[in-house]
Amino acid sequence: MAVSASVSLKRAKRRLRKFAREDTMSGPIRVLFVCMGNICRSPTAEGVFRHQVEQAGLSHLILADSAGTIDYHAGDAPDHRARAAAARRGYDLSPVRARQVTPQDFETFHYLLAMDRDNLAYLHRVSPAEHRPKARLFLEFATNASVREVPDPYYGPAGGFEHVLDLAEDASRGLLAHIMDQLKASSSR
């Protein structure tokens, strides 16, 4: 079984490298997670997804970043409660610093994943028309979530940060599976 999984992972990595070369944007697949301030939800999603990509051995082929729709917290580390909740599950958010979405992000990233409908509406409003389909709700990739938006835990109890992690773990698994499925489909053409 381990040999079969190893062979499958090697094939998936080859497909991902081929997809990255064929794509109009050269290099790795790039994913941007977006919330309002870039200090709670989107850095959590970035950290969780990055960890899952690293565990799959694909960190040289898939890159993650996060940004906010406002620049109020630009340069700040994620909220201390988000960092603490993430650390309890083995995720390191310390390298993340808040920044605002830029026009260049629409050119650079393959996926711009909003945490809620308000942030998605912002992305659609500021996006060039040809890049609008790249902006989606992050929880579209969740398989077990009964909600479509990641709630903002900033003003709520500490348990809200755990809920955000639950949602981010689920949606990140789905996103990684989606990217792998896209690679399989593109390699069979």
Distance CA 138, CA 18 (A): 25
Could you say which of 15, 30, 41, 83 is catalytic? 41
Q: Catalytic residue at 152? A: yes
E strand map for the chain? 29-35, 62-68, 111-114, 135-137
Distance CA 139, CA 62 (A): 19
Could you say which of 30, 35, 65, 116 is catalytic? 35
**67-to-12, 44, 129, 141, 179 alpha-carbon distances in Å:** 28, 11, 20, 19, 21
Residue labelled with tokens 């997804």: 49
Distance CA 81, CA 18 (A): 40
135-137 and 111-114 strand pairing: parallel
Q: Is the dihedral of CA 178, 59, 75, 134 positive or negative?
A: negative
Is-contact 40 22, C-beta < 8 A? Answer: no
Q: Catalytic residue at 40? A: no
Q: Catalytic residue at 17? A: no
Widest CA span in the chain? 50
The catalytic site residues sit at 35, 41, 152
